[in-house]
Amino acid sequence: MQTTRHQSQSTILGRNGKPLALPRSGFTSLDTDARSVGEAQAKSHLIGLIRHAGLKELAEKVEECCSEYRAFACINGHVFDPVPVFRCRYRLCSDCARERQRRTFARVYPSLLEFRRRYQHDRVVLITLTVRSSRDPLAEIDTRFKKWFAKLRRTKEWKTRIRGAVAGFEFTHNKRHGWHYHCHILAFRKAWWPQPEIASLWKEVTGGAGRIADIREVRKLRGGVEEVLKYPFKPADVGNWTPDLILEFDGLRRRKLSECYGELRGLKIDSEDDLDAEPEHSGVICVGAPCPQCGEALMLVTLLRELLVVGYGGCDSS
């Protein structure tokens, strides 16, 4: 990351025209690396699509999301514990999706570790289920897929092989073929289940619509959890979307894109409450406390996203 120094200005006007108190130097822009620039462009494109879809109020919320942060800072530009002033909670928003995924992983991973300790002879596997692409409305595809998945879970084969599972649902759109809906499942397998048998059963319960049914062992539980959780929480690539597709997606607003099954049922996955929780502070970081880097007193400031610095121990904007 590059560092941009502001030597003559310690106050910047926010979006509401009011001055924002900022440290005097040492700023590092979050938008200078390739990933951040790409995300900023993608978010701008998303906001445009939402506006053209007639969802003006939602577009304004997404634009405001994570544009300003409250944080602890010293006069030398060291910043700690940045928290967004406002989050839009929109599932396609990359900022909210990344934070939702991070907090969900922190809550779910310890529970899965304990589950594995309890059933040490189970094998952790990653199952992928897909169906043929469709031009039907996305809400209809979602309903249909989940009915098929429920039918699969009611089979004797599933019940005798799978003890518990965490599933994440994902969909992509192709101009030629329409919506491609699929499911990634982190499962605790209590008995061997050959891939050809899974594929045959999946094709049967879907009435021939099933396409891929893959199963592979997960060597590291953490990697498996990350793989599954990234799908329901990562924002879709809307580069080739139209405003009409935004409206289709909006029809899934109240539907779950992740769920737990079997003996893992009840484990909280997709929760909007996560975005309300304030980060825990160690007690060392507070107003008036000495900066861990330079010893100057910390103050509570408001920062524009573009001027948010990476603080002690590494911080990001999410």
Q: Residue 144 belongs to a domain with what CATH number?
A: 3.30.70.60
Q: Are 52 and 45 in contact (CB under 8 A)?
A: no
Amino acid in position 107: R
Residue 312 within a domain: no
Residue 316 within a domain: no
Residue 57 within a domain: yes
Confidence of residue 304 (pLDDT cuts 50, 70, 90): confident
- In tens, the pLDDT along 25-42 reads 333 333 334 345 577 888
pLDDT of residue 20: 40
Do residues 109 and 216 share a domain? yes
Do residues 134 and 238 share a domain? yes
Do residues 152 and 187 share a domain? yes
Do residues 265 and 124 share a domain? yes
Do residues 207 and 143 share a domain? yes
pLDDT of residue 39: 77
pLDDT of residue 153: 97
Can you tell me the mean pLDDT for 7-16?
A: 36
| Weakest-pLDDT range from 16-20, 77-81, 230-234 | 16-20
Q: Of the candidates 147, 159, 185, 177, which has an alpha carbon nearest to the alpha carbon of residue 240?
A: 177
Do residues 264 and 298 share a domain? no
Q: In 8-133, where do the E strands start and end?
A: 11-13, 19-21, 27-28, 68-73, 79-84, 123-131
Do residues 261 and 171 share a domain? yes
Do residues 137 and 266 share a domain? yes
In which domain, by residue range, is 61 found? 3-91+280-307
C-alpha torsion sign, points 63, 66, 70, 71: negative
Do residues 86 and 104 share a domain? no
Residue 114 within a domain: yes
Query: What does the DSSP 8-state code read for residue 242?
Result: -
Average pLDDT of the residues of the chain: 81
Can you tell me the mean pLDDT for 102-129?
A: 90
Residue 315 within a domain: no
Confidence of residue 80 (pLDDT cuts 50, 70, 90): confident
Confidence of residue 164 (pLDDT cuts 50, 70, 90): very high
Do residues 59 and 189 share a domain? no
Residue 250 within a domain: yes
| Weakest-pLDDT range from 128-132, 226-230, 238-242 | 226-230
Residue 317 within a domain: no
pLDDT of residue 64: 94
Residue 295 within a domain: yes
- In tens, the pLDDT along 186-235 reads 999 999 999 999 999 999 999 999 989 999 988 888 888 877 777 666 66
Alpha-carbon distances of 156 from 144, 160, 200, rounded to whole Å: 21, 6, 14
Residue appearing with tokens 């994570």 = 66
Determine if residue 46 is left, alpha or beta; phi over 0 gives left, psi from -120 to 50 gives alpha, anything else beta.
Answer: alpha
Is pLDDT of 145 > 70? yes
Do residues 112 and 218 share a domain? yes
- The three-point CA angle 227-231-232 to 5° equals 130
Instruction: Count the domains in the chain.
Output: 2
Do residues 205 and 289 share a domain? no
Is pLDDT of 113 > 80? yes
Is pLDDT of 318 > 80? no
